[in-house]
Each structure stands twice: as structure tokens, then as C-alpha cells.
Structure 1
Amino acid sequence: MYLHVRCFSNSRLILWPGFSTSVLRYETQILLSVDISHKVLRNETVLDFMIELYNRVGDQHFSDTCMKELVGFVVLTRYNNKTYRIDDIDWSVKPTNKFKKADGTEITYVDYYSQQYNASITDLKQPMLVSQLKSKNRFKDMAPRLAHLVPEFCFLTGLSSQARSDFQIMKDLAAETQLSPQKRQKRLHELIDNIQRNKVTRTELEGWGLRLDEQISLVGRVLPPEKIQMFDHSCQPVSPVDWSRDTRKSRIIGSQPLQDWLMVFSHRNYEVAGQLLACLKKVGPPMGFLVDNPKMKDKEALERMQIVKPGAVNKWLEVNHELPSRIVIYRDGVGDGQLMTLVDYEVPQILDSFKMVHSTYSPKVTIIVVRKKGTCRFFANVNGLLQNPPVGTVIDSEATHPEWYDFFQISQCAHQGTVSPTYYHVVYDNSSMKPDHVQRLTYKMCHLYYNWPGVIRVPAPCQYAFKLTTLVAQNVHREPDLELADRLFFL
């Protein structure tokens, strides 16, 4: 249910606020989890976008560029208020083509939309968008169901790269979407109050034997702050969020000198490249990081790189001359519906892969699913005022599941709005590590992302994996070179 639609006239954007909800069995009772959500719509159809793109890139590169720009986008069709993901573009199908309906009769897309939705298609030469529908059938061998969508009726959702680079647009959106704990709590109370006052919803709840009680309170723990170990001393940062000032003039434990290296830049960024080099040579020596002059290369395009993933265990053996006795794996990008598949298929494959190293090799293994998105939010009650919980807060009761080994952890600071906790689910563990040790290790790993002198939202391996896959998917389009496998070249 979306209310109070906000239009941004200068950017052709529409913001629909609403609520995301779930009712699940938690530690001791059934709870309703509610959070405020927003959907950004563009007042621009896919056909408008395609026409603008054609005028910009021309006929020769239009098809490839269009596929690259649109596949993966989510669109909304206003004739039925449903969202679809664009999985492909069928250039051979036009609105004048016929398709078979459920009753077996054939009809053109033009006639179908006219009869079904009283909508007229004006451009009869536009291609059709293809979306794979989610199947409700549990049998995986069923053929996927495909829907053909008319670009003229599909409105783009989300923000374009141009909008994201517009400071004023992002500022206006942030003012509407990044709510403080107090404002978020007020809107949630208004929702619950409306549900309680509505006779229809109240009757529906009573029919299920349910009622809405007060918001629950629970007790969390705050993990102790981590010390940052430098070459000749350790320091306790003033804030775990950013310790750059605390360590700026301290030598790091060890670093390789940057000697034989190449700096590649476009001609227009010549001055920026010089500034970057000057900055490196200024801040590097006090930290024990020596930087030689690079080969400066002005070039617009680089050859694509290729990489073959080596076995992490074999690499450990090569460097440390012994096999690891304990392995912790952080697994990102797994939804609730995929957990059993992960446990039944992926975990056994991981365990079997160790036999490829040595027939008797059997390390202790902990596999943890990491999830950044969720409806749970937590507020700290400080002298009667709601605030974001402090960095390092752990919640492992009440809001967790009784049959799962799971916990929430807050390892980042929200300077604006309400902080989002990261959810961790230990799906496999034969290491006998105590829950407190797993939580402490996870928090420590959030300190080890080398691109930021502070804590981040997820353990460093997850962020490294995200940066690598994003670089390969958006720019490289092939596996990078094997020689780069042990370097953080993707940061």
C-alpha cells in the first residue's frame, strides 16, 4: 500500500512510499516485522529511453547498447500496477505479431491491449521486452514462463546514472527516504494505528486468531572496540567508523614498495593523474609505503584482462607451507528460499572439494550466510529518545529464529536516517566455535576492507567479492588474468 506520492518535477521522478512486511515465528513468539520502503519511478517509458538512446548512439551500436543498458532493469506497467524484470529484448517480435492466449486462441498484441486494458499502441515497429515470470510450480524441470511486454507501456524504475550523479536530486530523495529513528517510529506507529482502527483488517486478524500488541523491547550487546595494530604501536581509534586520522602518520606493519607500475589515464584527466601521484608520494613514506615514479600512459581503452580462480586452499598451502586447520566462509546473496538448496547441495560440494587437496584433509568449517536487506530495524532508547544503536551492537535473541543459528550485527554508522543491521545465519559449523567468537570474528572482518580506514557493513571478503564481480560484469566482461589473482586490483 503506497501513500503520499511525491513528484520531483525537475527530475521527472516519482517517489512512492510504502511498507514492507513479514509475519514469522521468531525466538519466542510470532512477530510482525515492518519497515518503510520506497519505490522510485521515472516519468519515462522504455520506448522514450530507447528513442533517446538511438538518437545518441546511432543505428550501428543501438542494439548492443540497448541490451547492455536495459537488461536487468525493473519496469512497472501501470495498466496492472505490476513490476517485471527485463531479461531480454526480442527484436524479431513486434506489436503486430500474434501470440497464443490461455484458451488457445491467437491475437495480436495490439488487439490484446486494446481489448484487455483499453490501451492503444502507437509505435507498431517497437521490439518487445522479455521477462521471465516467477514460477509457482515447485518442479524445476518445468519450462520457464516468458512474458512479452510493450516498451511503450513500461515505465522505468530506479535511478539512472545521470540522476545518481546529480547532487540536488540525491539530496531531495535522501530527505524523503532516509528517516531518523524518531520519524521512522512515528510512521510505523501511524500504520499500526490505522490497522487497529480499520474494521476490515481488524476482522481479518480476529479470523486468524491474531492481534497486534505493543512493539517489543529486547536487550542487545555492544562488542568491545578493536585496537588497530601499527608497526611500532597500537592505537584505540576515537571512532571505529573512521580511524584515518588516528593512523595517518603511523607506519603500517608491512607493505610492498610500488616500483614497477603503470598509470593509465585519459588525456582530459592528465592533471588529475598528476595530483593522484603527488598525493601518493606525499602520504606514502610516513606510513612506510614507498612509491616510485610510474610509467605514465595516456590511453582511452585497455585490453581486457583474464583471470582463472586458483584454489584458495592451495594458495594458502603455497604461502604458509601447511594446510589451514579451520576455514570460515562468508556467503552473500542467498534468500530465505535458497537456504535449503545451499545446505543440501552447496555445503556438501564445499566439503567434498577439500578431498581434492588431499584425501585425508578435513578442516573445521564454518559457513555463514550474509544478508544486507531485511525489514528488521533496531532503535536504542537513550533517556527516552530513540537513536541508532552504537557501532558493534549485536542482537541474538527475541528477533532471531528459534531453529536457526543467527544474529544481527551493526557495524556501520548512519550519519543520516536509520541504520540497517546486517543479518548473519550460520548454516554449517563443525568447528565448535562459541557464538560470541563467531560474532567477534565477524566484527573484526568488517575492519579489514583495505579501501576504507574504518568499519564497513559486511565482512571484508564479501565486499571484495562484490567489487570484483561488479568490475568484471560492467567493464571487463571476461575472466581477468591469473597473475592478478593475489592482488586487490579491483579496488
Structure 2
Amino acid sequence: MPGSCSTVLVFCTSFLILQACLLIYKMEPKKEVVSKLKNEPVKITFELSRELQTTSPDCLRYYNILFRRMLQKMDLDQIGRNYYNKNKKTEFNEYRLEIWPGYVTSILPYETGLTLCADVSHKLLRMETAYDLISHTREKARGEDAKEKILRKLVGSSVLTKYNNRTYRVDDIIWEMSPSSTFTKSDGSEISFVDYYKERYGTVVTTLNQPLLITKGKWKKSRQDTPHQPIMLVPELCHLTGLTDDMRKDSRMMGDLSTHTRMDPDRRQHKLLTFMDSLRKNNAVQKELRDWNLELEEGFLSLSGRTLQDVRIRQGRRVFDNHKADWSRNTREVPLLRAVSLDHWLIVYTKGNYETALTLQQNLQRVTPRMGITVRNAKLLEAADTVQSYIRTLEKHASQKTQMVLCLLPTDNKEIYDGIKRYLCINYPIPSQCVLKRTLDRPKTPVTIATKIALQMNCKLGGALWKVDIGVRGDSVGFSSFHPSLAEFLMVYFSPNRWFSECIIQQSGQELVKGLTTCLYTALKLWCEQNSSPPHSVIVYRDGVGDGQLQALIDQEVKQMETYLENAYRGQKVRLTFIVVKKRINTRFFIEKDGGRLNNPSPGTVIDLKVTRTEWYDFFIVSQSVREGTGTVTPTHYNVIHDTLYLSPDAVQGLTYRLCHMYYNFSVSFFFFFLLQFGSVYLLISDS
């Protein structure tokens, strides 16, 4: 493929460590042993069934169990799937926060052999219990409905119970019960919550007049026939996790936290080397390894990678190469690819913000001419800071001619934002743009802020900012799916500025889309309306699927699409390529510079050797840039699970990297523009 790669680099991944294979001990075909159970002899017969390869799923499952046991021997506590060292926690007393350092580990077979992938992780806890939050909220309520405020703050949040290091999601609060209330144990006996925690965990509950929290917990599919009993939690024993919205607004606090948790390549390497050194010096861990004839090799895995050539950006009549995956400077004061004039629009503001709304309009009119956009004066309307007031104002003044509604919000009240969006998406469909007043008050130049707002508004009106040559002729259609509650919401995108949406009912938490044929039918119907002939090929980028679901994905979604394409166009074969995308991975890649220092790889770096699976057609791409000292770049993993288009690796990798440049919210290369925002399926239909 022309221009697919330009240089060859040598990389060192910071978390791939070779592990020696487990030797299979010779065993007699049949062996009998005798044990005792309640002083009665019990004879157990072991019979050799088959020998497992080291890459067998059963062996891999055991390797990971064994390694987790080693982490426990290092006095690390398991929280969720990861392990943390609470003895080395860092306390931020000023913010009443503490951070536990930890590690993410997994053992998998790659081309180089059995490999341990490890990464640094952090668990953030607040020095505040759920009961503290309940007490403070009650004190501040001052006669108002305290229970309602407590519910809004607690329900949906996650808490950690330190007596068993488990996290729970708070689903409700039961005010009628307290720690003195009783429940029935599995043996049928009654016991109070106070006595249970003292007897089971040695934990004393000191406050008896507190309500109980309810969590539904996770219910395994294998236990669907078992009655689902909710779990009751004592607020005093539940430590709050994560950050509140108010905490996130504190720039000083967020800066202090990021300094501690955000690590550049050198610092991340040092943390992992310390981790490996601790494994080697721990006698209990070494004994466990020797007992199973296992050995950890020293050092990290080194490999080679390639760097794809810069992608050319086309905006208006200008064509330019992006530098370090950032072309924001090149796009300034250049006409957009497709500009939409704004003739009939509304600006809704709250009391005391008229001057701010007027200034914003003037700044928009100042920056848009060089983009090729004409912005006429808006109708400025005042509303109270309530959902009802915003809706009444829109009902009175919005019309069929209204192209855009810009709402100037004094605070980031989610209820007001959701109410405005719901009304303007469902009841009276009009594109909308919500802007926080504090955004306009930032020390940045008003022109810069107005430029970003103008770009977003142009996209919502059907405009286009720029385009790239993706190497495939023809328009494109995109599927995106996400599932609020029980609905799978699929949006189908045409070219850069036309789309439609479709909703499919799914089970809660279900990732595989069963109604995909319906959406594909609609997409191809619209394609044929725009083109006189059916497409030559369909390329699907699919996100939100774990490794264990790949076969199910092939059997269900891929089979659905293949069957439909075969039956719909019997006279012409429509080829299908299906690519699974994974963004949330723990693999990291570093490039070694002169002097031994590690840096982040350049954007466009492709790794398709050694750390890929022998049975897969997969590769990694580093598609974004990270400024020096601000952290470690995260690659994206792509796996081609079905391909009747027979694309070469260079063609797939080049196409994928080009599509990373089409996320209009940022003039930088990102993971994958479509998946970053919406999350599940991108469908590219090509006529060649």
C-alpha cells in the first residue's frame, strides 16, 4: 500500500516479561490415595485423562490463579480484579483522599511464548464513609428534604468495604432498617447486622441509628433460577470511592492527584522493575515458583515496530500534513470543508447573563467569516435556572425555521442539561449547544473558545470540518451502538455530515447486537438511494467485545451480516471485513532513546510482531500523541476476525490510522474517532 510505513524503530514494552513454561510431570496412568474424612477412610483414584499444552485455556486459567496467589503472598489486597498495597498508600489529608498503589496482571500466550503483562494501577479512596456523607447532608439540609438529597448523592456511587476489600454499587437506601435489624443466615438462624460483623469480621459497629444501604450485586447467569436477594450494607463500614463533581472542579487538587498517578515511561518502568524485584526477593513467591518449576525471566521484552507516514488533512482548498498527530494550528483561519450558515437561531440565558450572551454572539460573528460561515443575529431570550423555564421559553419561541438553540448555563446542573437535551431531541427536534458560563470566563482568549463552539455547531448543522484520504473510494456509513438501560441505540452515519439512528431492544449489559440485520438493511437501502449500485464491500469496526466473546461474535453478528449480504444481492458478492477494537488494554510500548531513557512512541506506530497472538490476525497502533512529562501513551488493539475482502496488513493498518483523524471534537489523532465517542460499531461501505 503506498505510503504505509516510513521508518523502522526498536521498542521495549514495559510490561511484557517472558515466563518459563510449566513442565508436565510424568504421572502413572492410574494412582490411588487414601485420606480421612471425619476419621473415616476415603479412597481417591486419580486417572490420567490427557496432557494439556501450556497454551491450553485450562492451563492459562491456572497460571493466572497461581500468579494471583503469589500477589497475595506479597500482602497485596485484591479489589475487583487488581491487587493493591494499602500499607504503601499515599494520604492527601488536605483533600481527605488516599491512593493505594497496585498492579494489573495477566498471563497469555503470544508469539514469543508464555508472557506476563503487568501495569501499574491506583485505587483512589475518600477518607469519608457513607455514614459521614449522610450525617453532613442532614446537617446542611436545614429543614429541606434531607432524604432526597442523600439519595441523590449516594445512589449510583461505588463504595469499598475494607473488612473484605470488595466494592459495591449503591442502588437504594432502606430507612426502616438499621444495624440492629436482623436477617436470616444460610443455616436458618437469625442474627443482627451488629453481631454478624463482630462475629464474622471482628468489626464493631458503633452507630445504631443509621439506615442501611442496598446493592443488587452481580448475579451470575448460572444462578438465574436462584432467588436474587439484595445485599444490605452498613454505611459506617462503607468507604466512598472515586471523585465527586465538586472535586473534579478543584484544579489544584486534580493537579496534585495527577502528579502522583500520571507516570511518564521512565517512572512507569521504575515502578515495574521494583515490582519484579519484590517478586524475586519474596521467599514465599520463589518457593511457589520452584514448586511448579516456573521461572520469570529478567528484563522486558524488546521488539521492532513501524511508523506509518503522516496522514494528509484536506480542509477547504488546503492540504497539509499533520505534525505529531496535531493539526490544530494548520486549520485556523482556513475555510471549512463544508460550512453551514446560521440564519435563524436562539440564545437562551439566565438572569444577569445578558452581557455574556451578547458577547458570545459577537465573538462567534467575529471568528466565523474566515471559516466560511455566515452567522446572523440570534434571538436572545431570558429564562429562569430551571428545566421548566427553559422548556417554556423554547415552546414559545422555537419554530420550524429554528436551526440551532444555544443555551448558556450558569452551572453544570445535570438535571437541567438532560431536560434541555431530552426536549430538543425528542419533543421538538432541533440541534442544540449548551455552554457553561464558567467556560466563557476562563483565562483563555474569548476568540479561541468561540472558535471551538462554532466548529461544534457547524458539525451539528450538517457541516464538515476536514477530511482525509482513507485509501478506499466511495462514501462511508457508520454504526455506533451504546446501551442506556435496555435499549441498544445504533446510529448510522453517512459521509461526514449525514446520519440516521435506530433503536433495538437489548437485554441489560448485553454486548452482542441481535438485530444487526435490520440496521444493515436500512444502511444499505440508504446507500443504494445515493448510489445506483450496491456496495462492493463492507468493513466493520466493532468495540465493546472481550476475548471470550470473539467466537460468539463470529457465530452471531458476523453470520447475520454474511447471510444478509449473500441473500440481498445474489447477482453481486458484497465482501465483508470485521475488525474488533479494544481501547481499554494494559499493554504499553516505549521507545528507547540514547542514554537508555524511555519515551513514548510516535503517533502512527504499528506493532504486529511478538506481542500478537499466533491464532489471531491482530496488531497495535499508537494513534495519539502525549506531551513529554504528562503520561504514557495508550495503544489500541485491533483484531481482524473475518475478512473476505482479503486486505493486506498494510492496507488494514493504513485505513485504521487514517480513520483516527476524523473525530471532529479534536484536531488531533485519537484512538478511533467513532468508537471514542459512541463506543461500539463503525461500518464502512465502499464501492471498490
Give the TM-score band, short-chain normalised.
0.7 to 0.9
Give the partner amino acid of 2:606.
Answer: V
- Structure 1 counterpart of 2:675: 462
Contact 1:133 1:144 in 2 (8 A): no
Match of 1:263 among 347, 363, 378: 347
Q: Does 1:177 align with 2:390?
A: no
Give me the TM-score of the superposition, normalised by structure 2: 0.62
Q: CA deviation at 1:414?
A: 1.9
Contact 2:178 2:208 in 1 (8 A): no
Q: Does 1:332 align with 2:416?
A: no
Greater shift, 115-124 or 226-235, is seen at 115-124
Match of 1:382 among 580, 593, 602: 593
- Structure 2 counterpart of 1:286: 370
Q: CA deviation at 1:329?
A: 3.0
Secondary structure in 1 matching 2:634: coil
Q: CA deviation at 1:147?
A: 2.3
Where does structure 1 lack aligned partners over 5 or more consecutive residues? 468-491
1:58–1:413 Cα change, 3 Å: farther
Percent sequence identity is: 38
- Structure 2 counterpart of 1:437: 651
- Structure 2 counterpart of 1:154: 238
- Structure 2 counterpart of 1:473: none
Distance (whole Å) between structure 2 residues aligned to residue 216 and residue 115 of structure 1: 49
Give the partner amino acid of 2:644.
Answer: N
1:427–1:119 Cα change, 3 Å: farther
Secondary structure in 2 matching 1:418: coil
Greater shift, 29-38 or 323-332, is seen at 323-332
1:324–1:86 Cα change, 3 Å: farther
Distance (whole Å) between structure 2 residues aligned to residue 57 and residue 466 of structure 1: 39
Matches within 5 A, 1:52-451: 52-55=136-139, 66-91=150-175, 93-117=177-201, 118-133=203-218, 135=220, 138=222, 144=228, 146-213=230-297, 214-240=299-325, 242-299=326-383, 300=385, 301=387, 302-303=390-391, 304-305=422-423, 306=425, 309-310=501-502, 311=519, 313=523, 314-320=525-531, 323-351=534-562, 363-383=574-594, 384-415=596-627, 416-451=630-665
Contact 1:227 1:234 in 2 (8 A): yes
1:218–1:444 Cα change, 3 Å: same
Distance (whole Å) between structure 1 residues aligned to residue 148 and residue 564 of structure 2: 39
Q: CA deviation at 1:243?
A: 1.2
- Structure 2 counterpart of 1:476: none
Give the partner amino acid of 2:624.
Answer: Q
Secondary structure in 1 matching 2:121: strand
Contact 1:19 1:36 in 2 (8 A): yes
Give the partner amino acid of 2:259.
Answer: A
Superimposed CA distance per residue, residues 66-106 of structure 1 (whole angstroms, 9 cap, x where no aligned partner): 55543443211112222223344445544333322222222
Q: CA deviation at 1:325?
A: 3.6
Distance (whole Å) between structure 2 residues aligned to residue 343 and residue 53 of structure 1: 51
Q: CA deviation at 1:161?
A: 1.1
Q: CA deviation at 1:207?
A: 2.3
1:287–1:24 Cα change, 3 Å: same
Contact 2:566 2:574 in 1 (8 A): no
Give me the TM-score of the superposition, normalised by structure 1: 0.85
Q: CA deviation at 1:257?
A: 1.6
Distance (whole Å) between structure 1 residues aligned to residue 109 and residue 356 of structure 2: 55
Superimposed CA distance per residue, residues 390-433 of structure 1 (whole angstroms, 9 cap, x where no aligned partner): 11111122112222222221111222021121222333333322
Superimposed CA distance per residue, residues 114-140 of structure 1 (whole angstroms, 9 cap, x where no aligned partner): 3223321514341322141364x7466
1:442–1:88 Cα change, 3 Å: farther
Where does structure 2 lack aligned partners over 5 or more consecutive residues? 1-75, 77-84, 392-421, 427-488, 490-500, 503-518, 681-688
Contact 1:330 1:461 in 2 (8 A): no
Distance (whole Å) between structure 1 residues aligned to residue 644 and residue 141 of structure 2: 56
Match of 2:128 among 20, 44, 50: 44
Greater shift, 349-358 or 250-259, is seen at 349-358
Distance (whole Å) between structure 2 residues aligned to residue 356 and residue 272 of structure 1: 58
Greater shift, 458-467 or 248-257, is seen at 458-467
RMSD: 3.0
Contact 1:94 1:128 in 2 (8 A): no
Contact 2:347 2:379 in 1 (8 A): yes
Greater shift, 250-259 or 442-451, is seen at 250-259
Distance (whole Å) between structure 2 residues aligned to residue 169 and residue 108 of structure 1: 41
Distance (whole Å) between structure 2 residues aligned to residue 93 and residue 326 of structure 1: 61
The structure richer in strand per residue is 2
> Which structure has the larger Rg over C-alpha atoms?
2
Distance (whole Å) between structure 1 residues aligned to residue 631 and residue 545 of structure 2: 26
Contact 1:367 1:426 in 2 (8 A): yes
Superimposed CA distance per residue, residues 304-361 of structure 1 (whole angstroms, 9 cap, x where no aligned partner): 2345833460444445565544333333333334444433334444556769988989
Distance (whole Å) between structure 1 residues aligned to residue 536 and residue 342 of structure 2: 33
Contact 2:583 2:635 in 1 (8 A): yes
Q: CA deviation at 1:252?
A: 2.0
1:271–1:444 Cα change, 3 Å: farther
Contact 1:129 1:151 in 2 (8 A): no
Distance (whole Å) between structure 2 residues aligned to residue 340 and residue 287 of structure 1: 48
Greater shift, 251-260 or 64-73, is seen at 64-73
1:205–1:297 Cα change, 3 Å: farther
Distance (whole Å) between structure 1 residues aligned to residue 139 and residue 545 of structure 2: 40
Question: In the comparison of the two structures, how many residue pairs are matched?
Answer: 464
Q: CA deviation at 1:111?
A: 2.1
Contact 1:87 1:132 in 2 (8 A): no
- Structure 1 counterpart of 2:10: none
Contact 2:176 2:211 in 1 (8 A): no
1:109–1:319 Cα change, 3 Å: farther
Give the partner amino acid of 2:635.
Answer: P
1:90–1:204 Cα change, 3 Å: same
Give the partner amino acid of 2:591.
Answer: A
Greater shift, 252-261 or 371-380, is seen at 252-261
Q: Does 1:8 align with 2:92?
A: yes
Give the partner amino acid of 1:244.
Answer: S
1:107–1:352 Cα change, 3 Å: farther
Contact 1:131 1:149 in 2 (8 A): no
Contact 1:264 1:297 in 2 (8 A): yes
Distance (whole Å) between structure 1 residues aligned to residue 550 and residue 225 of structure 2: 20
Superimposed CA distance per residue, residues 178-233 of structure 1 (whole angstroms, 9 cap, x where no aligned partner): 11111111111111112112221112122222211131101111111111112222
Distance (whole Å) between structure 2 residues aligned to residue 141 and residue 290 of structure 1: 62
Give the partner amino acid of 2:660.
Answer: C
1:359–1:100 Cα change, 3 Å: farther
Greater shift, 398-407 or 37-46, is seen at 398-407
